[in-house]
Amino acid sequence: MSKPLGAKPETAFNLKNLFDSVESENSESADNSEKAADEFSFETLENHWKEFLEKLNVENKIVSFNALQSGKLVLKDDFKIEIEFNSSTLIFEFEQIKDRLTLFLREKLNNEVFELIPVEVEGRSVNYIKSKAEIFKEMAERNPNLLKLKNELGLDYNSND
């Protein structure tokens, strides 16, 4: 079988070619090592944060939206952005969308050196599920006659009957 005229002959693997290509890539990346690091205010960060949340809401990413919405932004020195969450579950949800959020904020803030740091804050946890005893106690505080009725009829609020 004859080769077409003007075709390059096949060459074997050559380390010199490999090293030359790596050096040219390194010199190109050295030119691009100047990363954008524009200053930004907390208000600007918060506005873009809300814009990202709105995108998640429109895309119907409810779990991610709720997790990020519960986070509290804290802008620290050296472009460090702490996001305070009240549970490790919310941090896990944040980690799932962190890369997308980072790309979004890099573009909007024109800053490639900021760092997003999730922080779990103890004590901010809110108990959303109440026991039957807690519900009854709150109702009895508003209407003491309920306690009297419970005692007279011998009712047990923990019973499922």
The per-residue pLDDT for 63 is: 87
What tokens were used for 57?
A: 């809401």
Q: Provide φ and ψ at 131, rounded to 5°.
A: -75, 165
CA distance 116 to 98: 8
Domains and CATH numbers, the chain: 42-120 (3.30.300), 127-161 (no CATH)
Q: What pTM value is reported for the model?
A: 0.54
What tokens were used for 11?
A: 């060459």
Give the model confidence (pLDDT) of 105-115 as tens digits. 888 888 888 88
DSSP per-residue codes, 85-148: ESSHHHHHHHHHHHHHHHHHHHHHHTBSS-EEEEEE-TT--------HHHHHHHHHHH-THHHH
pLDDT at 37 over 80: no
Flag the least confident range among 43-47, 106-110, 128-132. 128-132
pLDDT at 60 over 80: yes
